[in-house]
């Protein structure tokens, strides 16, 4: 049999799925060519990284294991409490008992591309996903904290599976009857809350991209409504847009 060229083996390595990585290593570990050994080393590194990620994800299931006897667990988180414009968005996610999704984390610790990819995986594999939001007018009307609670209640009500217990990122939501467990920095400690943070963040970021097309002078695509220097300068230059939170920009605009 003709020996495979290194570029062929490299293409094979790129196409090798996780479950076949060990077989790739076994096939080529005796090949003495430096280029092939480099690929084998990269494959071994990939397996070590995957093992470390699985261990990390198992650690993120600590609260899910602790409260498993309570029944169906739902993670709750929000995105957009701090921006000067746009809605606050809440996500509610019920993951399957044997969740095999890797790389879930606090959405702020993930790249935009990684969040987008995980959003699609979560939407496909979750037992239920609910999204709720409160827009800029509602935030001005009842304040950001109450608007956040309202968005969370909506997210829970939009689930097509009824949870038995909520794992929340830091807050206790008033006005609901479910048992709640507030977890400080829960989006980095609970896989369910981390998943909810990704759903909330991606949903809100996509909305802000749409608003950028409607109001391009404010640069919403780049800062997503947060108070960057360029954003504040745009508010001073153009005045508030229809989606700005008036209660958040009092220091930048005149009445």
Backbone angles phi, psi at 97, to 5 degrees: -55, -45
CATH number for the segment(s) 62-210? 3.30.420.10
The pTM (predicted TM-score) of the whole model is 0.90
What confidence category does residue 1 fall into, taking pLDDT thresholds of 50, 70 and 90?
very low
pLDDT, tens digit (0-9, with 9 covering 90-100), for 79-119: 999 999 999 999 999 999 889 899 999 898 999 999 999 99
Most distant CA atoms of the chain, gap in Å: 81
Which residues of the chain are in CATH 3.30.420.10 domains? 62-210
Alpha carbon distance 59, 45 (integer Å): 21
Other CB atoms within 10 Å distance of the CB of residue 79? 29
pLDDT, tens digit (0-9, with 9 covering 90-100), for 222-243: 999 999 999 999 999 999 999 9
Strand ordering across the sheet containing 128-134: 128-134, 88-94, 73-79, 165-169, 179-183
């Amino acid at each position: 049999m003709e020996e495979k060229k290194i570029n062929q083996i490299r293409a094979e390595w790129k196409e090798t799925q996780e479950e076949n990585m060990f077989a790739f290593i076994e096939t080529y570990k005796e090949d003495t060519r430096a280029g092939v050994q480099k690929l084998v080393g990269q494959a071994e590194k990939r397996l070590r990284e995957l093992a470390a990620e699985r261990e990390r994800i198992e650690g993120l299931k600590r609260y899910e294991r602790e409260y498993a006897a309570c029944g169906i667990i739902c993670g709750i988180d929000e995105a957009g409490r701090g921006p000067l414009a746009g809605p606050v968005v809440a996500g509610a996610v019920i993951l399957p008992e044997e969740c095999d999704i890797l790389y879930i984390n606090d959405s702020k610790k993930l790249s935009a591309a990684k969040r987008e990819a995980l959003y699609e995986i979560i939407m496909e594999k979750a037992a239920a996903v609910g999204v709720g939001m409160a827009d800029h007018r509602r935030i001005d009307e009842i304040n950001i904290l109450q608007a956040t609670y309202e968005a969370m209640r909506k997210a829970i009500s939009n689930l097509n599976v009824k949870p038995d217990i909520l794992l929340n990122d830091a807050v206790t939501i008033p006005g609901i009857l479910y048992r709640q467990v507030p977890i400080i920095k829960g989006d980095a400690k609970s896989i369910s809350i981390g998943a909810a943070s990704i759903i909330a963040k991606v949903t809100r970021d996509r909305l802000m991209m749409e608003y950028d097309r409607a109001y391009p002078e404010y640069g919403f695509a780049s800062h997503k409504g947060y108070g960057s220097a360029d954003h504040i300068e745009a508010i001073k230059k153009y005045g508030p847009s229809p989606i700005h939170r008036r209660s958040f920009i009092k220091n930048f605009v005149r009445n």
